[in-house]
Homo-oligomer: A and B are copies of this chain.
Amino acid sequence: RIMRPDDANVAGNVHGGTILKMIEEAGAIISTRHCNSQAGEPCVAALARVERTDFLSPVCIGEVANVSAEITYTSRHSVEVQVNVMSENILTGAKKVTNKATLWYVPLSLKNVNKVLEVPPIQYVRKEQEDEGKKRYEEQKLDRLETKQRNGDVIFPIINPEPHTVGYSQSSLIHLVGPSDCTLLGFVHGGVTMKLMDEVAGIVAARHCKTNIVTASVDAINFHEKIKKGSVITISGRMTFTSNKSMEIEVFVDADPFVDETRERYRAVSAFFTYVSLSKDGKPLPVPQLLTETEDEKRRFEEGKGRYLQTKAKRQAQLQQAAQ
């Protein structure tokens, strides 16, 4: 569809969150269709995880985003979908790849939302495709277990923070979940959550460097728990790490199903977003260094540095491979 002014920031760059939302909608359609392709209980595919996603080039207002999706692996209870986004300037005809994303979905029964159904297997052209898919499946399963640990963290507000400290840029947003945010089952679309997460992360990044910022990448996001219609969700973000030209922001989503007495507030999602700062002609700008004060902040900075160096090393390995 055509990108509109509301999809973009003041400089005309489309929010990463808008792209994530479109990716997720495409993934939900193709995986729901696949899981209902055999006779049996009708189901809706729910987003369980999005793998790390790089935003290769910014999209602008007036461009058309073309989204294509393909199922690349099925386990017994989950579907892996690859989604590609191309942005096309329909005036010049220029096309560029914006994103390649990998999403995992799980089919939930329409009659009983807590029942996970079986996924019809797909046919692989080559045996290796199945093996590679299986390897990706095992890896993401492991990673999902790990992030569950990290989830106790809460963001406290700081009074009169100094510029460039963690407390100075941290932000949070509350949203009341309405009907258009939800699937047929009455739970929030993963894409809606990701769009709000990107919005908060963008505010944190802009507060820190006070320039035009764009989403560069999103670390793997795990959706631990469903969020019901009528819940209030609090999305909080804080900066964890800065390199010379990038900022890493941790985002938490907490859901408060406050009309449902049986449940306490719970952590539904958490993720890391990376932003870069752009000059008026679209070049990356240096980023002010994050000032860490507490022990926890220093620890999170080091952990962020670890993720940054790991990603950098992976990318260089890929470039070398490609060059060979």
A interface with B by C-beta (< 8 Å): 1-2, 4-6, 9-10, 25-26, 28-29, 32-33, 36-37, 39, 42-44, 61-62, 64, 88, 90-93, 110, 156-157, 159, 163, 171-176, 178-180, 182, 184, 199-200, 202-203, 206-207, 210-212, 229-230, 232, 256, 258-261
Measured in the bound complex, the distance between the Cα atoms of B174 and A200 in whole Å is 8
Query: Which 8 pairs of residues, A with B, have the shortest CB-CB distance?
Result: A5-B179, A5-B5, A179-B179, A10-B230, A10-B62, A33-B90, A42-B91, A90-B206
**B203 touching A232 by the CB < 8 A rule?**
yes
**A62 touching B184 by the CB < 8 A rule?**
yes
12 A/B residue pairs, CB under 8 Å, sorted by A: A1-B1, A1-B25, A2-B202, A5-B5, A33-B64, A42-B259, A44-B259, A64-B171, A93-B163, A93-B207, A173-B175, A176-B202
Q: Pick the contact of A2 from B156, B178, B199, B210 — CB < 8 Å?
A: B199
Instruction: List the B side residues contacting A33 at CB < 8 Å.
Output: 64, 88, 90, 93, 232, 256, 258
Instruction: List the B side residues contacting A173 at CB < 8 Å.
Output: 1, 173-175
Instruction: List the B side residues contacting A212 at CB < 8 Å.
Output: 259
Instruction: List the B side residues contacting A39 at CB < 8 Å.
Output: 261
* Given A25-B176, A44-B259: A90 touches B5 (CB 8 Å cut-off): no
Q: Which of A6, A110, A259, A261 has the most C-beta atoms of chain B within 10 angstroms of its own C-beta?
A: A259
* Given A5-B6, A10-B259: A232 touches B29 (CB 8 Å cut-off): yes
Copies of this chain in the oligomer: 3
Measured in the bound complex, the distance between the Cα atoms of B240 and A303 in whole Å is 43
Instruction: List the B side residues contacting A44 at CB < 8 Å.
Output: 91, 259
**B156 touching A159 by the CB < 8 A rule?**
yes
Measured in the bound complex, the distance between the Cα atoms of B259 and A199 in whole Å is 16
Q: How far is the CB of A12 from chain B (nearest CB, A)?
A: 10
Measured in the bound complex, the distance between the Cα atoms of B93 and A174 in whole Å is 21
Q: How far is the CB of A82 from chain B (nearest CB, A)?
A: 17
Instruction: List the B side residues contacting A178 at CB < 8 Å.
Output: 5-6, 179-180
* Given A33-B93, A261-B210: A6 touches B174 (CB 8 Å cut-off): no
* Given A90-B203, A259-B110: A184 touches B230 (CB 8 Å cut-off): yes
